[in-house]
Chains A and B, each alone.
Chain A
């Protein structure tokens, strides 16, 4: 496809670039040192070491480590004509055990899901005023997210019963599960605490702005609404952790620069287990390729396994859905486009 690079477009791009530059590069901003000093009021900087085998053994005591991840595949594109296949996997480092998998299907075309969407839409819209009206598509997205979160929490729960692991590594923030799958989450926490199973959330895309909220007016004007990932960019050395002092939402949180990538990842732990956060962070760091994007390889492996490729998804749907139904309900005309 040819991009038509008109003068107009060039201008728009240049302008955008200039504005971003002003905000992020202009050194009316705080320097690295000053920012660290500010942050140190509310958080602690700790350097981590890559763990030796004995240290790892001491932490896990011969029990396996579980990785939990979920995936969504979508057939069809535009609301409500799509179907989504949800899958969650808990995979043990003990290779002799095959993974625990749970599936679910979500589609606004299915009566049950449709009712659910409509109900939530009407509740929300009764409460709020006109200009923050919620739309069915958004609600559908949220429902799907929370279905997936519960699937993941459930396989984590199953994995404790089945394998008695030392640690469960979840792909994403624990806060997300707490919010999106509240009931299941409570049960998981209860069991994990009883069985002494550590649960850690590993967050690749940090979406919070806890720092700017906490620092408030101490930050220069231009920085007050910055997200955490922006403030943290390049702030930590490789292997350095920034540990928040106060647990928020019952979770102990930290940012870690776990690879050469100047960005950071987030980790969170149950408040009750926060005493070992340094060890857990070191383990995460030890499992992260230095040249990678900061995610421990174990989660990459789980991710690779859980992800059903679109091609495969198509095959599954082909096999189980009546072709005329498929064409009628989920076929996206765009897929027929020839670019």
Chain B
């Protein structure tokens, strides 16, 4: 390997006849006068001096190349490999052309690639282009990050990528960016597994219901597996967790109602006047419904009936209460009131108000990873509420600590979410915007860190984006997103050019912690999402199961004569949890026969269904 052509202080070209270059691999340039600088391969090319030669002297056709091969000469071996190499540090003057180039030893680059011991950091994958150094590594770095390629788990060959989580104290927050299918969720899973390994308290908002860690990744050998069952909890909004209505501020409440369906100005106005501090769901909902009733009856009728004595006793009291409500809120449009009731009911039906966030708090205090699942519309507001509450607790604890007051311990924690552009969108105000922005800007002070994944970095609030000190950039095709990435990371033009072609699971890590961009392949996860079943396979599996159920129900009644089904129908229906009619049963039997599970024998009188011998 040799430096060829024009060189600069930042870049050189290296050529080799024998050796192919790997993108991102490190090379050492033996220019002693510059202290043998290190560089990274940023572009690779192969060049055949005889094939382009044909461009001006005539195209070399395939037949000729084959004939040449027949006489023993393979023209493709005349290829010269060329790598564009960027120096890690700018040299004081250009590299000498002709300088020898060698692969560095691991010890020469260790400090650049390894910032933390594996047991203290997040072991997320393998640094690409380090394959050649893998053998010389310290033992503790070996065999800790197997990869998943072409549906198979393969051993780690290069240097592991170990994210120094402690450095987040200085360089907080992580962004995970990439198009659909690029490996964000997979990468997030691996990050979360590692956070559990370190027992970092974490809240995960999971709009896709995919973050469960109880299923071991099937293809992974047991020696790499981990049992996370005691390290995480999964809660669903409305099923296991919810909001304590009386904790809600008026703002929280309007956000919640708006999440159910957007609110008009007059509705917001109505919430502001109708919601009282310490209201319970009962008191608030009662007030709304009473007001609605009062508006339906109308002030005139109420006053008349009360005056005329047409209503007495309880009813009279009720009417009087209605009148008071009308005095207080009568100017609110009835349509707004009924709109609020409709929204409140929707939330209530979701079970949102039947639970609390107590378990979440317990989980965090136990240093667990708490996954909160729910539909995105609900998750957004719920997150606002949860984050507001927990962040406040942590802040209060820290502030009290600064003031040297005794308070209950509340641990630092990490917040992770997919679809982050929904939580903190650019350009308009979403419920969670404020709290996420606040954590982005001053979470570092309180030990609260964000991990935000999004397909659309362009739609994410800029102040939040700017605070993400580490970004994992996966495959991205959309030009506007690539533009945003170029502005928000230190990815070079060559790297940005490669973004559309990255494989799923390959990522550029642009991090203030490493001071430069690393190309990384995310390791095989230890667990897998419980529902990675292909939807089409799911369809087939489902009907298989149905067929099987039916078969079990009829097998003991075989043979069945098509002329005399009624006699068997009852016993079959007894065995099934549905009731089949005669002709439906006939259809199903034909279907089973078609699939070869039973035999339909034709006789002069009709069909007889029989068991297969």
- Using a CB–CB distance below 8 Å, which chain A residues touch chain B? 50-51, 53, 56-57, 60, 64-65, 93-95, 259, 283, 286-293, 297-298, 300-301, 304
Contacts and interface: CB of A to CB of B under 8 A. Distances in A.
A289 B62 CA distance: 9
Contacts of B71: 56, 60, 64-65, 93, 283, 287, 298
Given A50-B63, A286-B64, A287-B64, A93 B57 contact: no
Contacts of B53: 300, 304
B252 to A, nearest CB: 76
A305 to B, nearest CB: 10
B67 A51 contact: yes
5 contacts: A93-B72, A95-B77, A290-B61, A297-B75, A304-B50
Contacts of A292: 54, 57-60
B224 interface: no
Interface string B75-99: 1011000000000000000000000
Contacts of B75: 297, 301
Interface of B is mostly: helix
B49 interface: yes
Contact of B58 (A93, A95, A291, A298): A291
Most buried by B among A53, A57, A283, A297: A297
Contact of A298 (B61, B68, B77, B78): B68
Interface in B289-332: none
B229 interface: no
B50 A94 contact: no
Contacts of A95: 73-74, 77
Contacts of A290: 58-59, 61, 63-64
B194 to A, nearest CB: 49
A293 B61 contact: no
B72 A297 contact: no
B63 A297 contact: no
B70 A289 contact: no
A280 to B, nearest CB: 12
Contact of A289 (B60, B66, B77, B78): B60
A268 to B, nearest CB: 20
Nearest to A296: B64
A286 B49 CA distance: 21
Contacts of A291: 54, 58-59, 61
Of the four ranges (under 10, 10 to 19, 20 to 34, 35 or more), the interface on chain B belongs to 20 to 34
Contacts of A283: 67, 71
A274 to B, nearest CB: 21
A53 B50 contact: no
Contacts of B61: 289-291
A223 to B, nearest CB: 30
What 6 A-B pairs have minimum CB-CB distances, sorted nearest first?
A292-B58, A93-B72, A291-B58, A93-B73, A286-B67, A56-B70
Nearest to A59: B71
Contacts of B66: 53
Nearest to B54: A289
Nearest to A259: B58
Contacts of B77: 95
A241 B395 CA distance: 94
B361 to A, nearest CB: 72
Given A56-B70, A298-B68, A286 B54 contact: no
Nearest to B77: A95
B73 A289 contact: no
Given A286-B63, A289-B64, A300 B57 contact: yes
Interface of B: 49-50, 53-54, 57-61, 63-64, 66-68, 70-75, 77-78
A50 B68 CA distance: 12
Nearest to B72: A93
Contacts of B78: 301
Contacts of B68: 93, 287, 297-298
A10 to B, nearest CB: 31
A238 to B, nearest CB: 13
Contact of A57 (B50, B63, B70): B70
A300 B73 CA distance: 13
Contacts of A51: 67, 70
A290 B61 CA distance: 7
Given A53-B66, A287-B67, A293 B57 contact: yes
Most buried by A among B71, B74, B75: B71
Given A93-B68, A289-B60, 20 more contacts: A50-B63, A50-B67, A51-B67, A53-B66, A64-B72, A65-B72, A93-B73, A95-B74, A287-B67, A287-B68, A289-B54, A289-B64, A290-B59, A292-B58, A292-B60, A293-B58, A297-B75, A300-B53, A300-B57, A301-B50
Contacts of B74: 95
A93 B73 CA distance: 5
Contacts of A64: 71-72
A53 B72 CA distance: 11
Contacts of B59: 289-292
Contacts of B70: 51, 53, 56-57
A56 B67 contact: yes
A169 to B, nearest CB: 10
B528 to A, nearest CB: 49
Contacts of A293: 57-58
B408 to A, nearest CB: 77
A289 B54 CA distance: 9
A56 B70 CA distance: 7
A259 B54 CA distance: 13
A319 B366 CA distance: 77
Most buried by B among A65, A95, A289, A290: A289
B575 to A, nearest CB: 70
A289 B49 CA distance: 16
Contacts of A94: 72
A184 B529 CA distance: 80
Nearest to A56: B70
A289 B65 CA distance: 9
A64 B75 CA distance: 15
A208 to B, nearest CB: 24
A283 B66 CA distance: 12
A93 B68 CA distance: 9
Nearest to B60: A289
Contacts of A304: 49-50, 53
A270 to B, nearest CB: 20
A233 B49 CA distance: 31
Contacts of B67: 50-51, 56, 283, 286-287
Contacts of B58: 259, 289-293
Contacts of B49: 304
A277 to B, nearest CB: 18
A288 B54 CA distance: 11
A262 B77 CA distance: 32
Nearest to A57: B70
A298 B65 CA distance: 10
Most buried by A among B54, B66, B72: B72
A290 to B, nearest CB: 5
A245 B70 CA distance: 31
A87 to B, nearest CB: 18
A301 B236 CA distance: 71
Contacts of B72: 64-65, 93-94
A69 to B, nearest CB: 15
A115 to B, nearest CB: 41
Contacts of B73: 93, 95, 298, 301
A241 to B, nearest CB: 17
A95 B77 CA distance: 9
A259 B73 CA distance: 21
A56 B66 CA distance: 11
Given A57-B70, A95-B74, A288 B64 contact: yes
Nearest to A64: B72
A289 to B, nearest CB: 5
Contacts of A301: 50, 73, 75, 78
B421 to A, nearest CB: 54
A26 B520 CA distance: 73
